[in-house]
Amino acid sequence: MRIFDSHCHWADARFAGERREVLLRAEAVRVRAFVAVAAQACDWPGLVRLHHYFPQVGVAFGLHPWFEHTPHALARLPVWLQRADAVAVGECGLDFGVGRASREQQEALLLPQLRLAHAMDLPVILHAHKSEDVLAMHLARLPGLRGVVHGFHGSQQQADKFLRLGFYLGLGGMITFPRAQRLRALVASLPLERVLLESDAPDQPSFGRKPPNEPAFVVDTLGVLADLHGLAVETVAEVTWQNAHSLFLRKAHEVE
Ligand SMILES: [Zn+2]
Ligand SMILES: [Zn+2]
């Protein structure tokens, strides 16, 4: 069995000094490939260094709507994507939760990143919270753009929109909570060939796990996803592995 963690924050300071152990614990439960996302320019150099030491970790660079960024960061993004042989643009997106930047500010940050991903033929890793319909509208304007809406927790109708646009839906620890009944019912109806597994570590620990979250815990999400689809975990692990592999251009390096 091999499991692909399609979204972790590998450069996060909460992993400092423990990355090798975190990786070993992930490998012990057969989590063997990772996409590490960096959400702001100050994380990019660290992620390049980590990629050097841990080549099984594919990297993605983006500018996340939660943070403030300089215009310089956006201008430098293509250089960093090329330098590290990035597998995707991200994490970027739209978050219309309380206290976030205005829609206009967020769109001004996101749209150049979508156009860049499109122009570089890279998939995009998207964060969406209370913004799914607006996001889908922007994606529809860039036919051919590929990617994933990570940590998906929208409605069935919104899921259908993203699937029609050819996007994948990333599922993480949220689906492991028994009280997440609406989300679980939706997940049970999703076509498995359009779903990716993710940890979002060190955030979003699965049910019963203490923070910080780590990629090894993605097995909890795998177990729930397999249950909801009435399939063996090995089957679901392999389908979601293939999904992640084909989305990220077969560039995310693996350990066999
Ligand atoms: Zn996110
Ligand atoms: Zn994230």
State the distance from the centre of ligand 1 to the C-alpha of 49, rounded, in angstroms. Answer: 22
The backbone torsions φ and ψ at residue 61, rounded to the nearest 5 degrees and listed phi first, read -120, 135
- Which ligand approaches the C-alpha of residue 60 most closely? 2
- What are the φ/ψ torsions at residue 65 (nearest 5 degrees)? -70, -15
What is the whole-number distance in angstroms between the Cα of residue 8 and the centre of ligand 2?
Answer: 6
Can you give the pLDDT at residue 251? 45
Q: At what angle do helices 218-229 and 181-189 cross, to 10 degrees?
A: 70
Whether the link from the prior residue into 112 is cis, omega within 30° of 0, is: no
Helix %, strand %, coil % of the chain (to 5): 45, 15, 35
For residue 202, how far is its CA from the centre of ligand 2 (angstroms)? 9
* Rounded distance from Cα 138 to ligand 2 centre (Å): 20
| pLDDT given at position 229 | 98
231: CA distance to ligand 1 center in Å? 28
Ligand nearest, relative to CA of residue 200: 2
In a structure prediction context, what are the per-residue pLDDT tens digits for the chain, which is 256 residues long?
999 999 999 889 999 999 899 999 999 999 999 999 999 999 999 899 888 888 878 999 999 999 999 989 999 999 999 988 899 999 999 999 999 999 999 999 999 999 999 999 999 999 999 999 999 999 999 999 999 999 999 999 999 999 999 999 999 999 999 999 999 999 999 999 999 999 999 999 999 999 999 999 999 999 999 999 999 999 999 999 999 999 996 544 444 3
Structural domains in the chain, sorted by start? 3-247 (3.20.20.140)
Tokens 């177990």 map to which residue?
223
The tally of CA atoms less than 13 A away on the side-chain side of residue 106 is 23
CA 88 – ligand 1 centroid, Å: 14
> How far does the centroid of ligand 2 lie from the alpha carbon of residue 200, in Å?
5
From CA 32, how far away is CA 76, in angstroms rounded? Answer: 30
Residues 88 and 76: their CA atoms lie apart, in Å, by 15
